[in-house]
Amino acid sequence: RPILPAGPAPPANTVVGAPVSRQVPPKNVHVKAACETCRKRKVKCSGERPKCNSCVRSDQNCQYISSPTETYTQARKRKLDELQEKSSVYEELVGLLRSVPEQEAHDILRRLRAGGDVAAVTRQVKDGCLLLQLALSPETRLRYTFPYVAEMPARLQVHGNIYLDSPIYGAALSSTPSPSSPDSGDLEARYQCIYLKPYHTAKIIDPRLSQIKASRWTTVISDSDLFSKLLHAYLLHEYPTYPTFHKDYFLDDLAKGKTKYCSSVMVNTILASACHCYTDILNREQFWNPQGLGYKFLAEARRLWELECRTGRVTLTLAQTAVLLNLEYNHNGQDDVGYVFLQQAVGMANTLGLYKPDPHGSTQSKRMKNAREFFAWGLFSWTVLQSYYFYREPLIKTPPATPLPDPEKDPSWYGEFWLQYPMNSSLFPARHGYTVRTIALLRIILCEIACRAFRGEGGTQTLSWNDIVEFRAKLDRWYQAIPEPISAKNVVFPWHLKTHLEYYAALYNLHTGLLSPQGSTSARQKTVSEVSSFSITRFETITRLYYLRHSFETMDGFLTFHLSHLAAATLKAMQSLSHSTSNGLPPDQRLLKTLRSTVFLCIKGLNDQARYIHVAVVVYRLNRDTLSNYDLGLLRTNVNLFESTEADASLAQNCHSAWPLPMKTDEPEGPQGAAVGNLVRQYGRLAIEEGSEEGSRDSTPEGRD
Residue 228: per-residue pLDDT: 97
Distance CA(235)–CA(277), nearest Å, equals: 9
Distance CA(195)–CA(176), nearest Å, equals: 13
Q: How far is CA 564 from CA 102, 557, 664, in A?
A: 46, 12, 10
Phi, psi of 292 (to 5 degrees): -75, 145
226 by Cβ neighbours in 10 Å (0-12 / 13-18 / 19+) ranks as middle
Residue 461: per-residue pLDDT: 75
Residue 189: per-residue pLDDT: 54
Distance CA(123)–CA(379), nearest Å, equals: 44
Distance CA(568)–CA(591), nearest Å, equals: 17
Contacts for 531 with CB less than 8 Å, ≥ 6 apart: 472, 507, 508, 511
Residue 229: per-residue pLDDT: 97
Phi, psi of 286 (to 5 degrees): -85, 75
- Please provide the DSSP assignment of 354-383 as one string: TTSS-SSGGGS-HHHHHHHHHHHHHHHHHH
Neighbouring C-beta atoms of residue 117, cutoff 10 Å: 12
Question: Low-confidence residues of the chain, pLDDT below 70?
Answer: 1-2, 4, 6-29, 101, 103, 114-116, 124, 126-143, 175-191, 358-362, 456-460, 519, 579-587, 645-649, 663-670, 683-705
The model carries a pTM of 0.77
Residues 362 and 231 sit within 8 Å (Cβ to Cβ): no
**Which amino acid is residue 678, in one-letter code?**
N
Three-state DSSP class for residue 609: helix
Distance CA(643)–CA(637), nearest Å, equals: 14
Q: Compute the chain's Rg from CA coordinates.
A: 34
Distance CA(430)–CA(194), nearest Å, equals: 10
Residues 504 and 562 sit within 8 Å (Cβ to Cβ): no
The Cα angle at residue 28 between residues 27 and 34, in degrees rounded to 5: 160
**Which amino acid is residue 226, in one-letter code?**
L
Q: Could you give the angle at which helices 335-351 and 366-388 cross, rounded to 10 degrees? A: 140
